[in-house]
């Protein structure tokens, strides 16, 4: 019987996912020569070439594609075993790894994740904030249990995941007290010509707000655009301008930032999704998050 070296296979799997030895070495935190040697030994043991050169990167041969499909199944099954064992009541904390889209306000994330920390079983929460493509890659590689997003997985993304709608929130405008006092009367048309802080235009919220402002023929002065909502809130606290945030955190915003409500953008909603690799959620903490959000925000599951 020919035995397979699973360490070699794991290195091959990483290179196939990342598309180059350099990126795989960075992910695995080993040297490039180490990976090259492991690949050569795997190819020698199989008697087949697994990669061809493609510019500065690598592409899978037909044999490599077959091996990669098997490797996906092997390591996915291994991760399922680890997850199943971790989710058993052993007296240790239950690990919950969450990928968070960086445009979701931290206060919203805190509110959505809080139910996981309220379980009888202790939970060790691990949060990673990043862009959608990298978070989904981590999800596929099972480095995270769930991804919190402001949009479902699109058809253009090659990820076979499931979108669980947690719910939606209306959107409100806030400002520091002096500015809010001047703008509140006559809202929303009082926004015309006023300094506005907004998320960048690649976000779902920005696109919705642009349409809302255009529909009402309101032309504010956009003085800042931000990927990071915490940074936007920081500028708002300095009095730089008016800014939008989900209405679900109005009370928290007033208490923690000292801002005042200016008004609500009627018809504009921000939606939140939990994206997983499974249609039926199994992780107890993920289920707690989804169940609590749906009770308060009225969401549902979808594929």
Domains: count for the chain: 3
Query: Cα separation of 135 and 98, whole Å?
Result: 9
Query: Cα separation of 9 and 45, whole Å?
Result: 11
Q: Which of 33, 65, 84 is where one domain is finished? A: 84
Note whether residue 96 is domain-resident. Answer: yes
Note whether residue 235 is domain-resident. Answer: yes
Note whether residue 122 is domain-resident. Answer: yes
Q: What is the pTM of this model?
A: 0.67
Note whether residue 255 is domain-resident. Answer: yes
Note whether residue 254 is domain-resident. Answer: yes
Contact 301, 164 (CB under 8 A): yes
Pair (282, 147) in one structural domain: yes
Q: How many helices (H) and strands (E) does the chain have?
A: 11, 11
Q: What is the CATH number of the domain that holds 131?
A: 3.40.190.10
Pair (151, 293) in one structural domain: yes
Q: Which of 37, 62, 84 is where one domain is finished? A: 84
Task: State the residue range of the domain holding 298.
Answer: 92-162+272-302
The pair phi, psi for residue 24, each rounded to 5°, is -65, -40
Pair (178, 238) in one structural domain: yes
Taking residue 154's Cβ as centre, other Cβ atoms within 10 Å add up to: 9
Cα separation of the two ends of the chain: 42
Pair (210, 259) in one structural domain: yes
Pair (130, 249) in one structural domain: no
Pair (155, 186) in one structural domain: no
Pair (179, 250) in one structural domain: yes
Q: Which of 30, 49, 84 is where one domain is finished? A: 84
Note whether residue 281 is domain-resident. Answer: yes
Note whether residue 139 is domain-resident. Answer: yes
Pair (260, 173) in one structural domain: yes
Note whether residue 1 is domain-resident. Answer: no
Q: What is the pLDDT along the chain (303 residues), one digit of tens a residue?
A: 567 888 889 999 888 888 888 888 888 888 889 889 989 999 998 999 999 888 777 889 999 889 888 888 888 777 767 766 665 555 577 899 999 998 899 999 999 999 999 988 889 999 999 888 889 888 888 889 999 999 888 755 666 789 999 999 999 999 999 999 999 999 999 999 999 999 998 888 999 999 999 999 999 999 999 988 889 999 999 999 999 999 999 999 999 999 999 999 999 999 999 999 888 888 999 999 999 999 888 655 444
């Amino acid at each position: 019987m020919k035995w397979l070296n699973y360490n070699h296979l794991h290195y091959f799997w990483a290179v196939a996912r990342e598309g180059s030895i350099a990126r795989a070495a960075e992910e695995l935190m080993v040297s490039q020569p180490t990976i090259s040697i492991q690949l050569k030994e795997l190819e020698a043991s199989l008697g087949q070439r697994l990669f061809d050169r493609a510019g500065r990167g690598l592409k899978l041969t037909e044999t490599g594609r077959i091996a990669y499909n098997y490797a996906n199944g092997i390591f996915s099954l291994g991760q399922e075993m680890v997850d199943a064992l971790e989710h058993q009541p052993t007296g240790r904390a239950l690990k919950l790894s969450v990928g968070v889209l960086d445009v979701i306000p931290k206060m919203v994330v805190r509110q959505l994740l809080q139910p996981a920390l309220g379980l009888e079983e202790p939970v060790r929460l691990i949060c990673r904030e990043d862009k959608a493509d990298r978070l989904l890659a981590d999800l596929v590689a099972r480095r995270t249990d769930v991804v919190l997003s402001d949009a479902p997985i699109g058809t253009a993304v090659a990820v076979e995941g499931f979108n669980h709608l947690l719910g939606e929130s209306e959107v409100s405008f806030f400002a520091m007290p002096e500015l809010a006092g001047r703008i509140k009367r006559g809202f929303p048309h009082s926004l015309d010509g006023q300094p506005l802080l907004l998320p960048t235009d690649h976000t779902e919220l920005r696109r919705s707000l642009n349409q809302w402002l255009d529909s009402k023929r309101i032309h504010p002065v956009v003085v800042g655009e931000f990927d990071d909502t915490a940074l936007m809130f920081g500028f708002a606290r300095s009095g730089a301008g008016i800014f939008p945030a989900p209405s679900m955190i109005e009370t928290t915003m007033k208490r923690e930032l000292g801002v005042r409500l200016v008004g609500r953008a009627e018809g504009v909603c921000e939606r939140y999704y939990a994206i997983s690799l499974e249609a039926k959620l199994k992780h107890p903490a993920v289920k707690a998050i989804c169940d609590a959000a749906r009770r308060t925000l009225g969401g549902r599951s979808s594929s």
